[in-house]
């Protein structure tokens, strides 16, 4: 195995543990936004898609590149936007409450 590949495995394992540690205590209210936010992060494959589309030569490669970039972009843009939309609903709650309680 090449040194790069081994380094990749090291990074993968450590990142997985970081993921476990960071997420393990999340209140149920945030489960849906967390999942949709994490889903958007998994769209990081957009980087691979851009590289693949960038060296495109010939029809097959162009088609594959276009599919990859489009699919990953939908995942990234849609994921982050809809997460923000959800969290915005959570956020405005305390403000409204104060308004209502105010004399």
Q: Interface residues for other proteins in 72-91 (CB under 8 A)?
A: 72-91
Q: Does 98 bind other proteins (CB under 8 A)?
A: no
Of 10-29, binders to other proteins (CB under 8 A) are 11-13, 15-20, 22-29
d(CA 41, CA 82): 13
Would you tell me how many other CB atoms lie within 10 Å of the CB of residue 83?
19
Identify the residue among 54, 99, 102, 103 touching other proteins (CB under 8 A).
54
Query: Which residue, 4 or 103, has its beta carbon nearer to other proteins?
Result: 4
Q: Does 101 bind other proteins (CB under 8 A)?
A: no
SS3 annotation, 8-39:
HHHHHHHHHHHHHHHHCCCCHHHHHHHHHHHH
Q: Does 103 bind other proteins (CB under 8 A)?
A: no
What minimum distance in Å lies between the beta carbon of 10 and other proteins?
10
68 close to 53: Cβ distance less than 8 angstroms: yes
């Amino acid at each position: 195995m090449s040194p790069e590949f081994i380094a990749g495995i090291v990074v993968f394992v450590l990142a997985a543990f970081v993921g476990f540690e960071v997420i393990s205590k999340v209140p149920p209210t945030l489960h849906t936004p967390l999942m949709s936010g994490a889903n958007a992060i998994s769209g990081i494959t957009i980087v691979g898609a851009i590289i693949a589309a960038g060296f495109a030569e010939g029809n097959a490669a162009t088609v594959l590149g276009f599919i990859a970039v489009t699919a990953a972009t939908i995942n990234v843009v849609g994921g982050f936007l809809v997460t923000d939309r959800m969290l915005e609903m959570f956020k405005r709650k305390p403000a409204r409450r104060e308004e209502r309680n105010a004399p």
